[in-house]
Structure formats: structure tokens, C-alpha cells
Amino acid sequence: MKYPTAGFIVIGNEVLSGRTREGNLQTLAQKLSTLGIEVRETRIVLDLEPHIIDCIRELSSKYSYVFTSGGIGPTHDDITAAAVAKAFNTELYEDPAAREMLLSHYGQENLTDERLKMAQVPRGSRLIENPVSKAPGFWLNNVLVMAGVPKIFEALVDSALPFLEGGIPVASGTLVVQIGESLIAGIMSDVEANFSQLTVGSYPYFRAGQHGTSIVTRSRNEKDVETAMETLTQRLEYVGYRVENQGIQLPK
């Protein structure tokens, strides 16, 4: 895949109610960017099976990969595994390898029926190793299902990364100018229009009693980023604004 993409589904009533802060999108987007995989869309859905099924089917047809966060624990409202199985017309079963992972972690005396629920995965899926709490995630077709706890989510993403097919990484360049974005919007729009695969974003800041704009150019073509930054600098300086060039960054 030259330009692989990803969708992200956050599953959980507690996120939509505001009781839990969603903290996994930034982790996912940053880690996927190192492989040249661009997150294109994020959705947050209730713990309702029809909603989860519809969302999985729609996003899996649109993107190279779909990642989910939440709903694979031991409680009654952890229904993501069952929803994924139904989305792909398969069934849940107790994966022997997953059971052994849980057994080694909890011990026989503490491996309750509720905890064994975390060994239930859709038939045909493969496990994603969880070095933190041992309960694995799983991967079915192009959907990767992970726990919502940020530390565990990050560990599962790290386990999956080596098996993802990446693309061309996105380079980004940043300029800072002490002027409001509305006064330079036309310049940014004109420069962006000269490139077919480059975006120019503006991000206002307020610090130390000053306000200004960070201008971020992004493209898979590093030369385009460099050229766009040079053009922006020339045009902004021509009309009297001082520009700070913070350089070009590539994912690491």
C-alpha cells in the first residue's frame, strides 16, 4: 500500500458521558504516522451492538485498517468482540492460546468465568500480544481490536505495528508568525492551491502575553513541504511579518 489509511472507533458509554477522557487517538495517530499510515476518521459509539456493527462494517470498507478501543474486558457491557464477530458473519469461541495467557497471569484459582470472557474472540481472528495485563487483543480481516485503558492500548498498538503494511511517511514543516490567522488566511490558501498533495494548517497560540499563528505544512513529498515553507516565508515577510522557521519533521 502506497498510501494506507486508518479509521479509529472508540467504544464506550463512559466516554460519551464525559466520565472518562479519551486518550488513545493521539497515541495511535503518532505511532501509525511512523509507518506512513494516516488516520482519516475517528468515531465514538455507545455500548450498543447494532451501532458497533454498523460502524465496523462502514469503516472497514473505507480504510486500510480499523482500530477499536474499549469493550473487550470481563464485564457485561464489554460487547466489542461479539459485535466484531457479527460484523463479519462469524462466531465467538474460546481461543486456547488466549486461555493459556490468562491462566498464566491469574492462576487457576483466580481465573473466573468473567476473566475467561477475555479469551472469547471471533473465529478466524489472530491474537495481539498484551505484555501489560496479558488479556490479548485480536485482529480480524482489517480490524484490530484493543482495550481502552491507555497503557494497555499503547502496548497492543506496539505489538501490532511490526505486522502492518506501511506507506510513505508524511513530512511536516512548521512556521511561526506573530499575527492572527485571519490576516494571513489568503496567503496560506494561495500556497496550498499550488500543490496537489500538500495541506497547510493554521493553529493560533496565546502565550506570554502574545498571540500568533503556527503554520503547519504536511505532505508525503518532503520537497513540497520545503518549497511551500519557502514560499510562505517569502510572502509573509514581503508584507512585513517576521517568520520563525522551526524546520521539517519526519516521523521517527
Q: Which tens digit of pLDDT belongs to each residue from 95-138? A: 999 999 999 999 999 999 999 999 999 999 999 999 999 999 99
**pLDDT digit string, tens, across residues 146-176:** 999 999 999 999 999 999 999 988 899 999 9
| Distance, CA of 181 to CA of 50 (rounded, Å) | 42
Instruction: Domain 171-249: state its class.
Output: alpha beta
Residue with cell 496537489: 196
What's the pLDDT at 249? 85
How many CB atoms neighbour CB 124 within 10 A?
Answer: 13
The answer to whether the pTM exceeds 0.85 is yes
Q: Is 242 helix (H, G, I), strand (E, B) or coil?
A: coil
How many CB atoms neighbour CB 97 within 10 A?
Answer: 11
The CATH label, of 3.40.50.620, 3.20.20.190, 3.40.980.10, 3.40.50.1860, for the domain at 5-163 is 3.40.980.10
Q: What angle do CA 127, 11, 9 make, to 5 degrees?
A: 75
For the chain, domain boundaries = 5-163, 171-249
Contacts of 206 (CB under 8 A, 6+ apart): none
**pLDDT digit string, tens, across residues 50-64:** 999 999 999 999 999
